[in-house]
Structure 1
Amino acid sequence: MDLAIGLALIALIIYSRFNKKKEWKNKDEYKDAVIQLMELLRCDYKEAKLVRDQLSRAAVPLRLYYSTDIIDGCYHFSDQGNYIGYFKINDRYTIIKLVYNDINLLDVHA
């Protein structure tokens, strides 16, 4: 009985450490995504975080490659080199147009 409890505790400790590492990795990916947006939009961390949070709510993945070309006021992004979509923001860093895989996500989430 004591052996079973001991093994269960060890398993729980290992699981919690694995879970923490995964959580830290996600936080690092999020920070990197915000910094990447901050450089692209030439804005503060706060505004870039606002844009990234809006993209996240629309289920746009964290790992994206942004194009430095701004076409018709839209910022284009891709996933590992494949064209995926674009977004447009207003002067308050609110996304006013978001197309992802040829679907206008603002219409879907409205």
Structure 2
Amino acid sequence: MTETLEIVSFRLKPKAAGDFVAQNGIVTDWLARQPGFLSRHLGKREDGSWIDFVRWQSLEQAQAAAQRIMAEIGDCEAMRAIELASVAMSHAVVALSMP
């Protein structure tokens, strides 16, 4: 298996309510149960956009989770807050990893 980074950038809807980080508990819990999940880092950029880095054991496991997430938890508060048209996802093979 080739360790993979999933990089997702997005914006929240203009009228998204509540604490987005707190709302992400259900997303983090769901990810933690997925085969191949290693870690997640969610960050907010200075321009107000967000970036989500998820580390997987393989690209195949990352892609399998991406195909299921909306069907399984797409209606949770955190997912509803995201402006879907702004979502950009890419994957990269891990070339260097440090603790």
Same fold (TM over 0.5): no
Q: Which has the greater radius of gyration?
A: 1
Q: Pick the structure with more helix per residue.
A: 1
TM-score (norm. length: structure 2):
0.28
TM-score (norm. length: structure 1):
0.26
Structure with more contact order per residue of length (Cα contacts < 8 Å, sep ≥ 6): 2
